Homo-oligomer: A and B are copies of this chain.
Amino acid sequence: MTTTEQQVLDRIERARRRAPRVREEHITLAHGAGGKATQTLVEDVFAGAFANPALEPLDDGAVLELGESRMVMTTDSYVVSPVFFPGGDIGDLAVNGTVNDLAVSGARPLYLSAGFILEEGFPVADLRRITASMAAAARRAGVAIVTGDTKVVQRGRGDGCYITTTGAGLADRSGGLGAARVRPGDAILVSGPVGDHGVTVMLARGELDLAADVVSDTAPLHEPVAALLDALPEEVHMLRDATRGGVATVLNEVAQAAGVAMTVHESAVPVRPAVNGACELLGIDPLYVACEGRFVAFVDGDHADTALGALRSHPQGRDAALVGRVEAAPSGLVLLKTAFGGTRIIDLLVGDPLPRIC
């Protein structure tokens, strides 16, 4: 590495370490997109105000003492538009998304709450369809929806149906998982093709003169996660589901938190041809597109094949792939080895080319 390159990286590193500060006066869509703007908002406004040991902005679930038990708690609001799309709807999305945040935290998902914010005029038949879909997703994931709340806002103050789910689970295996365990030499795996969900929702909006044979990947991940952790209880170092911001955002957040670099081989990342085609037409990199049934695993490099075998033993991980490796430096950066033999930095995006995807 030349001195000039090192200087650039040092400058990037200094910028990264500066306390983040929201500079905008008003909230923009980017603040909800899961990228840099969201990270800044969370670190400046939320983490500052709510500071406590359990609140870790990076992690999707908080590990908590509850009497003699250890619990994981996680929450997500769902504002996907449209509420129905090929392969799913806001209901199963809201159940699966929260189940998955628990699963990748190493928790056994048990209970969900659901808060509904409905817009006046929303069809009751659609609400029935959504609750039926939530119930089916909860059965499939083995969780119970135990408490809820409904509010209604006037026309023009909502968009049909928003749902906030909160999940609680037993922290069976949470102790051994986390960015602190990710180290150089770890293998990076994805559990299946990326970008299906985001592209599906975008096409379902019908704003683009584009059709593709693709459905959302929304699914519960507790079983493939368990298959992986059963096979390698010690060797799996961290898991993250790749939702808002896609796989690229997960890799960046983990690289920053763990103080490591990541090298990813573009040709090794599984992407369906239809997703690739849609992304090319739109000028979007599929690595940034949200999935709702895929996760990234960081596993001891010596056990990558066992991990891949364990994932592929489950239908939900049939197309799992080894996509790259954790390196020592340059700390905090994700490097993509392109199909053409080049290397480029895959940075966090400020916003998201696809708003309201989940």
Contacts and interface: CB of A to CB of B under 8 A. Distances in A.
Nearest to A37: B152
Contacts of A15: none
Contacts of A154: 29, 355-356
A248 interface: no
Name the residue in A38, A76, A132, A138 with the highest tally of chain B Cβ atoms < 10 Å from its Cβ. Answer: A76
A106 to B, nearest CB: 14
Interface in A58-96: 60-62, 64, 66-71, 73-79
Interface of chain A, main secondary structure: mixed
Nearest to A358: B151
A166 to B, nearest CB: 4
A192 B38 CA distance: 42
Contacts of A42: 148, 150
A26 B148 contact: no
Interface stretch (A48-56, A195-203, A314-322): A48-56
A162 interface: yes
A125 interface: yes
A164 B147 CA distance: 13
Interface string A150-164: 111110111100101
Contact of A159 (B26, B69, B153): B153
Interface of A: 22, 24-33, 38, 41-42, 45-46, 48-50, 52, 54-55, 60-62, 64, 66-71, 73-79, 110-111, 113-125, 127-128, 131-132, 134-135, 138, 144-154, 156-159, 162, 164, 166, 168, 170, 355-356
Nearest first, the 5 closest Cβ-Cβ pairs linking A and B are A32-B152, A67-B69, A166-B166, A164-B164, A75-B113
